[in-house]
Chains A and B, each alone.
Chain A
């Protein structure tokens, strides 16, 4: 059972900006880094954002992350068809002594 809550879906037209929220608590997002992953079914998940707002080499700057208190968000600007995927937030949870993932958000490009 996920302890990080995300909206089940988000959508936009090509070129639009989409924002995905991730709500947690003081034991996870509130006191630890947030990470974001992109996942296409049947493929290996891909790291998009680490340490709340950092992009790994090779990830376009259309993807950006932010964190405030016990919530975080991922923004995708200039939406493209290849951005259609599932997106998951993740954080360490000190109370559970384990990593927790968000419920996941399916992004559709209309």
Chain B
């Protein structure tokens, strides 16, 4: 079964840190780019970060640049998001999503998503 499972969320104080993980199964992980997307309570989806298949290309939303770091381990079929200097406005459900490379059948689409992990930033 094709599956992405996030973990690592929790309650953290402002200024704190967390490391989110996304474990993939049933897919050829190293053939796909990966993204993190979040949804704050009562808000819409917000793209957070992108990492290419070989980690050569990495992009971040301006709202998290300098505080978040995306990485991946293709051997472990895992995606990570290190989030530092957390702010109240970072409170959200964080989803990992599989992205097909440009030129592939589902070019650039987020075709597989995890169920999300909740991050709550509060004092």
B62 nearest in chain A by CB position: A96
Selecting from B11-19, B23-31, B42-50, B73-81, the interface stretch reads B42-50
Given known A50-B107, A56-B109, contact A45–B115 (CB-CB < 8 A):
no
With CB as the reference atom, state the residue of chain A lying closest to B110.
A47
Known: A44-B95, A46-B113. A88 touches B44 (CB 8 A): yes
Give chain A residues whose Cβ lies under 8 Å from the Cβ of B61. 98
Which of A90, A96, A98 has the largest count of B CB atoms less than 10 A from its CB?
A98
Q: How many residues of B contact A (CB 8 A)?
A: 23
Binds B, one of A11-19, A35-43, A75-83: A35-43
Chain B residues within 8 Å of A96, by CB: 62
Partner of A37, one of B50, B106, B110: B110
Structural contact, B108 and A45, CB atoms closer than 8 A = no
A44-B46 contact, Cβ under 8 Å, with A56-B109, A99-B35: no
Q: Give the total of A residues in contact with B, Cβ under 8 Å.
A: 26
Query: Judging by beta carbons under 8 Å apart, are B109 and A98 in contact?
Result: no
* A88-B45, A99-B35, A104-B45 known; A56 vs B111 contact (CB < 8 Å): yes
> Is B115's CB under 8 angstroms from A101's CB?
no
A98 to B66 alpha-carbon distance, docked (Å) = 15
Cβ B44 vs Cβ A35 within 8 A: no
- Chain B residue with minimal CB distance to A86? B44
B107 touches A101 (CB 8 A): no
CB proximity of B84 to chain A, nearest CB, Å: 19
Given contacts A47-B110, A88-B44, A101-B37, 11 further A-B contacts (CB under 8 A): A35-B108, A39-B45, A47-B111, A56-B106, A56-B109, A56-B111, A86-B44, A88-B45, A99-B35, A100-B47, A104-B45
